[in-house]
Every structure is written in structure tokens, then in C-alpha cells.
């Protein structure tokens, strides 16, 4: 087989996998993991069930691919928000607040926070909390060096912030979709956490 033929087959396989993920994402968001049939997904995508198993092994494997796709989509939106704000501290705060709204969008909420913990267990949080972790630690390290935030280990702070926002979205996902009071309370609590990191820093008034 020539290099061109191998590349063509690889591209075709990648396109098939992408179609399966897109189809599965709609189905999981609308009906939930338990009510989605692999046979129906394969038929809707125009592939055999064998091809589906070849790409994702099983239904849980396909669901994990969907989870990762949704997570990557949110990360891209947060990256755009981050790049639009020149101040790194304000950008970081804005991204955490935005995550609450972006992750709980109706087409994402059920996948990320209702079905994923049941289907993938703790792996769900390992995947979600790994997104952007390295750059966040780097930014926090720079903010500590500049005196923008308190002198606390940046990696520990990054884990703490991720833990806070994950706990909040799980709490919010349990509520009715239109529970504005709970969402407002979550944003206020998140502000309090960020304010605590600037307490005593030379830029506290500016940051808050």
C-alpha cells in the first residue's frame, strides 16, 4: 500500500470517527446514555456496528470520546475569552465564572455531569480537571511572583480551584435548569474564593 493510500484510509477513518462522535453527542444529550442504542447510532451515521466497535470498542468508549469532544469545545471557548483579556488574573477569574455557564448549557449538562459520573466514574473528573491545568499552574506561578496573589503553591491552588468549580457544577446540575438563584449563589461563592487568594497581596484592591 502506498503512502498516499495509507493517508487516505487514515483520513477516512478519522472522518468516520468524527461523524460517530457528532451523532452520538446529539443522541446522548437528547436521550441520555441508557436510552441510546449503538445499532441506531451506527445506522444513523451510515456505518456498520462493527465499524463503531472498531473505533470505540463499546458504548462507554464512544461516550468517553463524546465527553472529550465536549470538554475540548468548552476549552476552545475559554481560550478565546482568556485571550481577549490582557490581565492574566482577571482572565483567569473570568474563565472560571464562564465555565459554570458554558458547561451547564443544556446540550452539555446531561453528558458532562449527569451521565458521565455514572458511566465513567472518577475518570470523568480526571478528564475534565486535566484541561488547561499546566498553563493555569504557569499563570498562577507568574501571578505569585508578581505579588498579584498570595504566596501559595501554584499547583495546590490550581487543584483547589478546579475542585471548587467541579463541585459547583455538580451541585448546579442537580437543580432545575432555570434555577437562577443557585447559579447566582455559585458565582458569588466563586468570587469569594478568588478574593481570598488576593487577600494581603499588594494588588488586592485592583484585583477585587
Q: Where in the chain is the domain with CATH 1.10.10?
A: 1-57
pTM, two decimals, is 0.87
pLDDT digits (tens, 9 = 90+) for 20-77: 999 999 999 999 999 999 999 999 999 989 989 999 999 999 999 999 999 999 999 9
pLDDT given at position 3: 53
**What is the architecture of the domain spanning 1-57?**
Orthogonal Bundle (1.10)
Rounded (5°) CA angle 157-164-174:
165
CATH number of 68-207: 1.10.357.10
Rounded (5°) CA angle 33-119-62:
65
pLDDT given at position 174: 87
Judged against a pLDDT cut of 60, whether residue 203 lies above it is answered with: no
Judged against a pLDDT cut of 50, whether residue 87 lies above it is answered with: yes
pLDDT given at position 207: 41
Judged against a pLDDT cut of 70, whether residue 4 lies above it is answered with: no
Judged against a pLDDT cut of 90, whether residue 80 lies above it is answered with: yes
Mean pLDDT of the chain: 89
**Cα distance between residue 16 and residue 51, in whole Å:** 9
**Helical axes 3-31 vs 59-84, angle rounded to 10°:** 90
**Cα distance between residue 96 and residue 141, in whole Å:** 17
Burial group, residue 74, by CB count within 10 angstroms (0-12, 13-18, 19+):
buried
> 3-class DSSP state for residue 148?
coil
Q: What percent of the chain has pLDDT over 70?
A: 89
Q: How many CB atoms lie within 10 A of CB 20?
A: 24
**Cα distance between residue 94 and residue 97, in whole Å:** 5
pLDDT given at position 6: 52
**Cα distance between residue 83 and residue 89, in whole Å:** 12
Q: Where in the chain is the domain with CATH 1.10.357.10?
A: 68-207
Amino acid at each position: 500500500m502506498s503512502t498516499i493510500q495509507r493517508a487516505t484510509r487514515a483520513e477516512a477513518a478519522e472522518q468516520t470517527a468524527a461523524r460517530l462522535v457528532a451523532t452520538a453527542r446529539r443522541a446522548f444529550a437528547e436521550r441520555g446514555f441508557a436510552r441510546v442504542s449503538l445499532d441506531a447510532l451506527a445506522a444513523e451515521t451510515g456505518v456498520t456496528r462493527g465499524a463503531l466497535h472498531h473505533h470505540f470498542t463499546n458504548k462507554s468508549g464512544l461516550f468517553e470520546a463524546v465527553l472529550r469532544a465536549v470538554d475540548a469545545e468548552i476549552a476552545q471557548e475559554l481560550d478565546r475569552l482568556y485571550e481577549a483579556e490582557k490581565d492574566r488574573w482577571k482572565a483567569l477569574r473570568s474563565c472560571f465564572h464562564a465555565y459554570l455557564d458554558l458547561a451547564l448549557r443544556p446540550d452539555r449538562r446531561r453528558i458532562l455531569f449527569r451521565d458521565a459520573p455514572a458511566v465513567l466514574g472518577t475518570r470523568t473528573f480526571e478528564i475534565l480537571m486535566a484541561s488547561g491545568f499546566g498553563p493555569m499552574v504557569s499563570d498562577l506561578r507568574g501571578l505569585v511572583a508578581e505579588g498579584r496573589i498570595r504566596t501559595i503553591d501554584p499547583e495546590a491552588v490550581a487543584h483547589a480551584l478546579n475542585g471548587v468549580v467541579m463541585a459547583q457544577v455538580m451541585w448546579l446540575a442537580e437543580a432545575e435548569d432555570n434555577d437562577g438563584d443557585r447559579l447566582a449563589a455559585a458565582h458569588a461563592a466563586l468570587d469569594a474564593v478568588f478574593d481570598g487568594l488576593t487577600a494581603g497581596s499588594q494588588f488586592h484592591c485592583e484585583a477585587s
